[in-house]
Amino acid sequence: MIFSSFRFLVFFPVVLLLYYAHGNLRYRQVLLLLASYVFYGSWDPRFLSLLVISTVLDYVVGLLLPGARTLVRKRAWLATSVVINLAILGFFKYANFFIGSFQALLRGAGVETSPLVLSVILPVGISFYTFQTMSYSLDIYRGRMEPTRNLVEFALFVAFFPQLVAGPIVRAVELLPQLQRRIALRWEDLAAGSNRFIQGFAKKVLVADNVAPFVDRVFESPGNWDGPTLWVGSIGFLVQVYCDFSGYSDMAIGSARLLGFRLPENFRFPFTALNVPEFWRRWHITLYSFMRDYLYIALGGSRAAPGRVACNVLLTMTLVGLWHGANWQFVAWGFYNGCLIILYRLLLGPIQASTTLTRLLDSVPGLIFRAALSNVLFIIGLAIFRCPNIGDSLAAVWRMLAFDGAGASLISGSVLFWYGVILLGNVACEFDLLRRIAARTPLPLQWLAYALLIVVLVLFGAHDTKAFVYFQF
């Protein structure tokens, strides 16, 4: 069931009406849990068993952790949660990847093996809810929260349908307290939630799904195209994945707000970032913060020696890449971003030591240059990410950097137009211009703008219910 599909646009209003029809807290928890299981089971009911296993596992571990009398026992219970969760994720998502890589290694050593491919279907959203359940056990272990004894509450935290299959990754300390209180019907929540959902819907069907065919055509056979086409294709993928994923996040946040819940932001105007580390602090925020808090800091973070810090960054960002998929181009993409973060940190000291250079980079032209450079570096990385294999990724980046014009050319004006719109929109949001304009616009004109947006969506939106890009992760 996709947010932009007709089925969801029928399903959600029914859930919303039933939710506010009765104020009893237990009634609402059970209703939302059943609705969440129906929502998730609509893809494949078999996947519900994995969701239930992760739920029961971390619920039990959460109850046992505070009662463990020794640190060894606490670590053993925590290891039980982490190992089993990662084993399930690893089998369904990475089994064929590791088998294939090992066989390729053997072939490189001259040992021939018969091909082995497991018939495994990747459950939708498994990467998201696995991290979510583990965060619960990790936070209890660290003393950041007390476990809940209400299984329905915990199961709802894991399965809460607005953000179940593609995030944002919500931690128990953020969502469980909201699930434990009765929420009153408020006009503010209905208005803000509807507004946010419509924004996300427009990003998805008006921009992302219309740009997708061009991107697919370029990266289906990237070797057929020249450097300029690959640049436009990578820009197109940036537009697609941003509007698709941030659109999903908007719809998730909006749906939850209509029910009275607040989910964390997942994007914060990344195209105005002035360097790659800042770009990542604004892009897929909940994944970046999860990996930072539970992996990078656990490895020693920035407190270690410079060489160890570099290793921590590279390992964390490489695993961020691997989290996205079982392919070497994802690993290379994560490693590439880790290298950029390390390079920025190495250059930061000498730049700050030069007053002239600092003043130049802090000027308006300097700020524009820094933001443009961050965008360009991220776009190059997305070429690595989007190509079908690591060989095509490396060849595509080489052609882009050389601006090689030997292949066929295919330039899309609509892609460049939407990229410009997104850039201007990010700048406007960064300086709070859109909110100020909306605050001064009379309510009838705001409703007229929404009516015009609906007309544009009907006329120009792609309504073939394409799955969201991050469903595959």
pLDDT in tens, 222-255: 888 888 999 999 999 999 999 989 999 999 999 9
Instruction: Check 22, 284, 324, 463 and give the catalytic one.
Output: 324
**How many angstroms separate the Cα of 376 from the Cα of each of 12, 14, 155, 178, 274?**
39, 44, 42, 40, 11
pLDDT score of 33 more than 90: yes
Residue 331: pLDDT band by 50, 70, 90 thresholds? very high
Residue 118 DSSP SS3: coil
Q: Biggest alpha carbon distance in the chain?
A: 74
Give the Cα separation of 45 and 160 in Å (integer): 16
pLDDT band at 6 (very low <50, low <70, confident <90, very high): confident
Lowest-pLDDT range of 164-168, 265-269, 315-319:
164-168
Q: What is the mean pLDDT of the chain?
A: 86
Cα 469 to Cα 269: distance, rounded to the nearest angstrom: 19
**How much is the average pLDDT of 146-170?**
90
Q: What is the mean pLDDT of residues 100-122?
A: 69
Cα dihedral 288, 289, 295, 301 sign: positive
When mean pLDDT is compared over 26-40, 64-78, 188-202, 414-428, the highest value belongs to: 26-40
Neighbour tally for 456: CB within 10 Å: 12
Please indicate whether residue 182 or residue 119 has the higher confidence score (pLDDT).
182
For residue 223, the tally of other CB atoms under 10 A from its CB is 12
Instruction: State the Cα–Cα distance between residues 402 and 231, nearest whole angstrom.
Output: 11
Share of the chain above pLDDT 70, in %: 92
Taking the CA atoms of 284, 287, 290 and 293 in sequence, report the sign of the dihedral they define: negative
Total count of residues recorded for the chain: 473
DSSP 207: I
Q: Are 257 and 192 in contact (CB under 8 A)?
A: yes
What's the confidence (pLDDT) of residue 461? 66
| All residues at 6 or more sequence positions from 122 whose CB lies less than 8 Å from its CB, including other chains | 92, 93, 472
- Please report the pLDDT score of residue 219 as a whole number: 92
Spatial separation of the C-alpha atoms in residues 131 and 34, rounded to whole Å = 22
Report pTM.
Answer: 0.89
- Confidence at 449, pLDDT banded by 50, 70, 90: confident
Q: Do 186 and 64 form a contact (C-beta atoms < 8 A)?
A: no
Is residue 116 predicted with pLDDT exceeding 70? no
* Active-site residue, 324 included: yes
pLDDT score of 471 = 66
Contacts 24+ apart (CB under 8 A), 375-379: 375/271, 375/423, 377/276, 377/340, 378/238, 378/276, 378/279, 378/283, 379/231, 379/234, 379/235, 379/238
Do residues 246 and 266 lie in contact, with contact meaning Cβ atoms separated by under 8 Å? yes
Residue labelled with tokens 């053997």: 106
Q: How far is residue 168 from each of residues 156, 191, 254, 272, 286, measured CA to CA in Å?
A: 15, 21, 12, 21, 6
Of residues 407 and 362, more confidently modeled? 362
What local confidence, expressed as pLDDT, does residue 264 receive?
A: 93
Coil/strand/helix, residue 175: helix
Integer Cα distance of 41 and 46 in angstroms = 7
* List of long-range contacts for 450-455, beta carbons under 8 Å, 24+ apart: 450/198, 453/198, 453/202
CA–CA dist 202, 456 (Å, integer):
9
How far, in Å, are 6, 195, 235 from residue 461 at the CA level? Answer: 14, 18, 20
Tell me the C-alpha distance between 369 and 337, whole Å.
19
Query: How large is the average pLDDT for residues 255-264?
Result: 93
What's the confidence (pLDDT) of residue 435?
72
Q: Report how far residue 205's alpha carbon sits from residue 185's, in angstroms, rounded to the nearest whole number.
A: 29
Residue 41 corresponds to which amino acid?
G
pLDDT at 351: 83
- CA 437/CA 60 separation, integer angstroms: 50
The b-or-e profile of 380-403 (16+ CB within 10 A means b, else e) is bbbbbbbbeebebbebbbebbeee
Model pLDDT, residue 185: 84
Please determine, for residue 139, whether its predicted confidence score (pLDDT) is greater than 80: yes
